[in-house]
Amino acid sequence: MKTDQFQAPDYYNLDDLLTDEHKLIRDSAREWIKKEVSPIIEDYYERAEFPKQVIPGLAAIGGFGPYIPEQYGGPGLDQISYGLIMQELERCDSGLRSTSSVQSSLVMYPIYAYGNEAQRMKYLPKLASGEFIGSFGLTEPDHGSNPSGMLSNFKDMGDHYLLNGAKMWISNAPFCDIAVVWAKNEEGRIHGLIVERGMDGFTTPETHGKLSLRASATGELIFDNVKVPKENLLPNKSGLGAPLGCLDSARYGIAWGAIGAAMDCYDSALRYSKERIQFGKPIASFQLMQKKLAEMITEITKAQLLTFRLGQMKNAGTATTAQISMAKRNNVAMALDVAREARQIHGAMGITNEYSIMRHMANLESVVTYEGTHDIHLLITGMDITGIPAFK
Ligand code: TGC
Ligand code: FAD
């Protein structure tokens, strides 16, 4: 069993800007990861399986709905604490962070923000404790970047809704207890519905053959005349803005998470370059190696500062969708670049499961696509600065 030797890079003393509570939350998550998850993650990644035994631990570190108030079972933390937890989880594996992101921002957030009190009380405490795992169904086979074209639909049958359609590429789907599903009513307006496992006509086949995010379970949500009780419709927000509002929160978490993956790759590359001897010297002594390492820490530091400021704006309630898009796009691209450079620094060893680099690199190929692709986020920035949407 490998020892997790991670030491977090903090070149601009970001710790000085964190409160004692932030540091406690971050360090608890870090210690839990080192002890409970790092020793098993490569094995689960290779088996293409989510390690379900970590669910109670994820709940204990605040990984499910970090900012959900205590009255609904959440830890009631601020947005920087949420970000720091995502950073630590993705430092270990993007799939681990995915499970937490989906549960927190794509399932608990819409129930909290768009649900009624009965829905909050029924679902949030069980989601916070990990007794229930949720999934979020927006993407469809023919509607990924353009969810407004979705075909999933429901009809009012008097005493219930009848839901039909299919969602694809859904994290946590194969073992979710509930799904927050976005579908159109008879007038074509998008609404969120809570669908529970066990409802007749609801199935969740697993997606196989993924070469990325293998430690996270991905699947479909299929609705074949599913009778959904009327009390399961989220009443307080409709239209595409409802799911996009959830994405704001999840994309913010990814911006922090991607930094975690980059920090792990950099830390591993720095250590390896000082230990690996070639031509009679550590490879860290060659200028080309120092260029790679210096550029990696520079980009990580810039992303840390961008994201900390975004966290302050999230706490103040002023962060815009476009500001979140910029951070998600920048940080994931930065992490991919760092992972690729780190892979080279490790030479042949970099392609093995002795190191986390190749796993991070493959995972980040999903992260750069989900929650809005790299190019969609560029277009969101473009629209924000010019006032002209260039999506269609
Ligand atoms: P558009 O016309 O721009 O907007 C439609 C309506 O929505 C409003 N709106 C927002 N409201 C709240 N929050 C936001 N972030 C919002 N963005 C837009 C907008 O004001 C408008 O309102 P109204 O009242 O005028 O109707 O919509 P569009 O159809 O042109 O699409 C815009 C676009 C392309 C940016 C959007 O559709 C988009 O973001 N596409 C990317 C899709 C995406 O990110 N899918 C993610 C699926 S979930 C996922 O990947 C989970 S991975 C989980 C994991 O494992 O971590
Ligand atoms: P497409 O939309 O077909 O895009 C293909 C290419 O075309 C991309 O490069 C894109 O940038 C480009 N493109 C599209 N439109 C434009 C345009 N207007 N201008 C320029 N370029 C454009 N979804 C969920 O709802 N819930 C989940 O839990 C979830 N989990 C996921 C887990 C994994 C592992 C993965 C890989 C995906 C997941 N997704 C989930 C789906 C994800 O959100 C979509 O894959 C993503 O939104 C992109 O959609 P698409 O794959 O259909 O690509």
| pLDDT tens sequence across 1-35 | 578 999 999 999 999 999 999 999 999 999 999 99
Measured CA to CA, the distance from residue 85 to residue 58 in angstroms comes to 10
Residue owning the nearest CA to atom 4 of ligand 2: 145
Is 36 noted as a catalytic residue in this protein?
no
CATH superfamily assigned to domain 241-386? Butyryl-CoA Dehydrogenase, subunit A, domain 3 (1.20.140.10)
| pLDDT tens sequence across 175-212 | 999 999 999 999 999 999 999 999 999 999 999 999 99
Question: Which of 102, 168, 212, 244 best tests ligand 1's pocket when mutated (most atoms within 8 Å of CB)?
Answer: 244
SS3 224: strand
List per-block mean pLDDT (blocks of 10 residues) for the chain, which spans 392 residues.
Answer: 89 98 98 97 97 98 98 98 98 98 98 98 98 98 98 98 98 98 98 98 98 98 98 98 98 98 98 98 98 98 98 98 98 98 98 97 98 98 98 93
Residue 168: nearest ligand to its CA?
2
Task: Indicate the pTM of the whole model.
Answer: 0.97
Question: Which of 136, 176, 373, 374 best tests ligand 2's pocket when mutated (most atoms within 8 Å of CB)?
Answer: 373
Q: What is the pLDDT of residue 1?
A: 57
Distance 71 CA to ligand 1 centre (A): 30
Same fold, 134-232 and 241-386: no
Distance 218 CA to ligand 2 centre (A): 14
Domain ranges of the chain: 14-129, 134-232, 241-386
Distance 291 CA to ligand 1 centre (A): 39
Distance 372 CA to ligand 1 centre (A): 8
226, 195 contact by CB (below 8 A): yes
Catalytic residue (one of 140, 299, 341, 371)? 371
Q: What is the pLDDT of residue 112?
A: 98
Which ligand 1 atom is the nearest neighbour of the CA of 213? Answer: 55
Pocket of ligand 1 (CB under 6 A): 98, 101-102, 136, 138-139, 145-148, 171, 239-241, 244-245, 247-248, 321, 370-372, 376, 380, 391
Q: Please tell us whether the domain made up of 134-232 is placed in CATH 1.10.10.60.
A: no
Pocket of ligand 2 (CB under 6 A): 102, 136-139, 144-145, 169-171, 213, 218, 366, 369-371, 373, 375-376, 379, 391
Q: What is the pLDDT of residue 2?
A: 72
Report the interhelical angle of 241-275 vs 287-316 (nearest 10°): 150
Identify the CATH number of the domain defined by range 14-129: 1.10.540.10
DSSP state string for 78-120: -HHHHHHHHHHHHHH-HHHHHHHHIIIIIIIHHHHHHS-HHHH
Distance 30 CA to ligand 2 centre (A): 31
Residue owning the nearest CA to atom 3 of ligand 2: 144
Supply φ then ψ for residue 113, to 5 degrees. -85, -35
Distance 322 CA to ligand 2 centre (A): 18
342, 269 contact by CB (below 8 A): yes
Other CB atoms within 10 A of residue 24 CB: 12
Residue owning the nearest CA to atom 42 of ligand 2: 370
